[in-house]
Amino acid sequence: MKFAISLAAVIFSSLTLVNGQSGTGATTRYWDCCKGSCAWSGKASVSAPVRTCDKSNNPLSDYNAQSGCGSGPAYACSNNSPWAVNDNLAYGFSAVKLQGGTEASWCCQCYELTFTSGPNHFDLMIPGGGVGELKPQHRTQLIMILSTVFIALATLGAANAQSGSGKTTRYWDCCKESCGWSGKASVSAPVQSCDINNNPLSDNSVQSGCNGGGAYACANHSPFAVNDSLAYGFAAVNIQGGSESSWCCQCYELTFTSGSVSGQKMIVQATNTGGDLGNNHFDLMIPGGGVGIFGQGCAAQYGASSTGWGAQYGGVSSLAECSQLPSALQAGCQWRFNWFKGADNPSVTFQQVTCPTALTNISKCIRN
């Protein structure tokens, strides 16, 4: 937190946290080149500390490297500079002090700033904004969403995408889900994984069966009908502008807008992601839906071929073919041809919702 600032450099603002907290605060500006405080391990429950760079702005992999402000080799990366998205919106990074909080609660948290007029303080990282005291205090990475008057939720776009339109695909590759690893998000526990016999594992560090380990997707992560118009299930997810820290174990209500299930709804919990997923993409976990690029998982767990059951992409093509699957997976496969009416990758609209206990009781994962 800086004290040696010009009053002319202070702008008052209102602020809204992405998770719903809000208040009023002040902004200042700085760029001292120091390694940020949130770049040290153990500051908060995050996927990784904030990235730092060497003297030539090459990313450092050693989070223990001392700050250049303490004669070490770690500095703030030049790409931590702010940039404009459009005339009314910008992104950037900041040092922060929030009343009643600590680094454990604000490191790598995201905030919307609407410039107006308060006890909370945002020291914006702006090259040429002043070196201040040259102390790496409260250097917190966040996204600034700036507006001269106000920003409605819809205009937050990628940074706060809680609803929108999207696409679906399907898969079941038997691999341990990505959100099954510790540290992916602020949650009660990582997503439950199972051993080769579908017994729940207590050790979240067990390697995935797709990489020669003993952890697999549990068979009860199959979708199921609640009634004729609503189903529950799990999905690999990619929400535009987000990351696993924002969507792991989050739930979304999907309303299908095309195909034979148009108008029906499904609530899914995000338990996985994928490098091959597009923006606002929900890859539904459906046994017999295709193993995709990870053919080794079901081969290891169930003795399936490297292309799984049916086509490698898309899976089985009829209700009768569900009998090819292990008994633990057959009900989930049959769901696709019963409740889901054999729909082939229908489009959806989606909105973030509170997770039903019927899903969190299965995944054992609840967002904090």
Instruction: Encode pLDDT of 220-258 as tens digits.
Output: 999 999 999 999 999 999 999 899 999 999 999 999 999
Q: How far apart are CA 206 and CA 213, in angstroms?
A: 7
Q: How far apart are CA 336 and CA 5, in angstroms?
A: 62
pLDDT at position 272: 97
Residue 4 has pLDDT above 60, yes or no: no
For each of the domains in the chain, give its residue range(s) and CATH number, in order of start.
Answer: 7-154 (2.40.40.10), 161-363 (2.40.40.10)
| Among 122, 220, 213, 130, CA closest to 176 | 213
User: Over the stretch 163-187, which tens digit does the pLDDT of each residue have?
Assistant: 999 999 999 999 999 999 999 999 9
Q: How far apart are CA 163 and CA 158, in angstroms?
A: 10
Active site residues: 32, 173
Cα-Cα-Cα-Cα torsion 236, 339, 315, 363, nearest 10 degrees, comes to 30
Q: How far apart are CA 104 and CA 41, in angstroms?
A: 11
- The DSSP annotation for 289-348 comes to S--TT-THHHHHHH--BTTBSSBTTTB--SSGGGGGS-HHHHHHHHHHHTTTTT--S-EE
Percent of the chain with pLDDT over 90: 57
Residue 3 has pLDDT above 50, yes or no: no
pLDDT at position 118: 55
| Among 147, 28, 171, 130, CA closest to 90 | 147
Which strands form 94-97's sheet, in the order they lie side by side?
111-115, 11-17, 22-30, 120-125, 94-97, 139-140
**Average pLDDT, stretch 315-342?**
98
CA-based R_g, the chain, Å: 23
> What's the predicted TM-score (pTM) here?
0.59
Pairing of strands 265-272, 83-86: unpaired
DSSP three-state, residue 48: coil
User: Over the stretch 209-224, which tens digit does the pLDDT of each residue have?
Assistant: 999 999 999 999 999 9
Q: Dihedral sign, CA of 122, 24, 187, 329?
A: negative
Position with higher pLDDT, 80 vs 265: 265
Find out whether 214 and 180 touch, Cβ atoms under 8 Å. Answer: no
pLDDT at position 181: 97
Q: What are phi and psi of 349, to 5 degrees?
A: -105, 155
Find out whether 186 and 246 touch, Cβ atoms under 8 Å. Answer: no
| Among 319, 128, 341, 67, CA closest to 225 | 341
Q: What is the mean pLDDT of the chain?
A: 85
DSSP three-state, residue 209: helix
| Among 96, 104, 98, CA closest to 136 | 96
DSSP three-state, residue 53: strand
pLDDT band at residue 275 using 50, 70 and 90 as cut-offs: confident
Residue 188: DSSP 8-state: S
| Among 141, 135, 3, CA closest to 69 | 135
Element (H, E) at 350: strand 347-353
